Chains A and B, each alone.
Chain A
Amino acid sequence: QPTLTQPPSVSGAPGRRVSISCSGTRSNIGSGSDVFWYQQLPGEAPRLLISGNNKRPSGVPDRFSASKSGTSASLAISELQAEDEADYYCQAHDDNEWRVFGTGTKVTVL
């Protein structure tokens, strides 16, 4: 099943900024599909974190920001905190597969 490609892991010291990339194709991110990001804390279900146009559900701090360009998207976490240590997934609509997820990125706070 086609997936969006993410780096397996990123890390950063508290207070620093980290970025996670999400690479797709013309049938998903490149087709104009919005990209969503989910955060999965250890032992919990994923939760919607942010959309590609930087819309955040209530309770999500504005330290999280998203962007998209061409067939790729990215999630940035500024002022990294210990509570941000989690797995992060991107997701988009795909013209062929309907819905696709990223491979997932583990964020470690050093």
Chain B
Amino acid sequence: VQLVESGGDLIQPGGSLRLSCSASGFSFSSYSMNWVRQTPGKGLEWISQISGDSRTRRHAASLKGRFSVSRDNARKTLFLQMTRLSAEDTGLYYCAREDFDDYPNASDFWGPGTQVTVAS
């Protein structure tokens, strides 16, 4: 199992950014996927989850609709579209696979993360 995030950048407040997560080594379409971020002040924070068939998408209420998760199973890629970014969104963004077998509701594999910095 391998997950590799990309797309992190230095972005100005109010801007938008799309993160990607490339997956390999497992049946990507069979698994729900999570985005989790880590910020200096708040530790780990769950952001979004999307089911394997994209039918169910959930986002943290604190995001107030600014972020949107999607996936392309043919390309084995997960996405996170982020809008109206502010300094509070600065952090390391991880994608993680959610297990349904041995550890249901746990993120059993994580990527190394991609850094998002929001600053002028």
Interface residues of A (CB under 8 A from B): 1, 3, 33-34, 36, 38, 44-48, 51, 55, 57, 89, 91-93, 96-104
Contact = CB atoms under 8 A, between A and B. Distances in A.
Given A1-B60, A99-B34, A51 B106 contact: yes
Nearest to A51: B103
A89 B105 contact: no
A66 B102 CA distance: 16
A55 B62 CA distance: 32
A93 B105 contact: yes
B74 interface: no
Contacts of A33: 105
Contacts of B60: 1, 97-98
Contacts of B110: 45-47
Nearest to A98: B58
Given A97-B46, A97-B61, A98-B58, 16 more contacts: A1-B62, A3-B43, A34-B106, A36-B103, A36-B105, A38-B44, A38-B107, A45-B111, A45-B113, A48-B106, A48-B108, A55-B103, A98-B46, A101-B45, A101-B46, A103-B43
Contacts of A100: 46
A80 B110 CA distance: 25
A100 B42 CA distance: 12
Contacts, number: 71
B97 to A, nearest CB: 10
25 contacts: A1-B60, A3-B43, A33-B105, A34-B105, A34-B106, A36-B103, A36-B107, A38-B44, A38-B107, A45-B110, A45-B111, A45-B112, A46-B110, A47-B110, A48-B107, A51-B106, A55-B103, A57-B108, A91-B106, A97-B46, A98-B49, A99-B105, A101-B46, A102-B43, A103-B43
A74 to B, nearest CB: 17
Contact of B46 (A34, A36, A96, A99): A99
A48 B103 contact: yes
A44 B92 CA distance: 11
A96 B112 CA distance: 28
Interface string B48-88: 01000000001011100000000000000000000000000
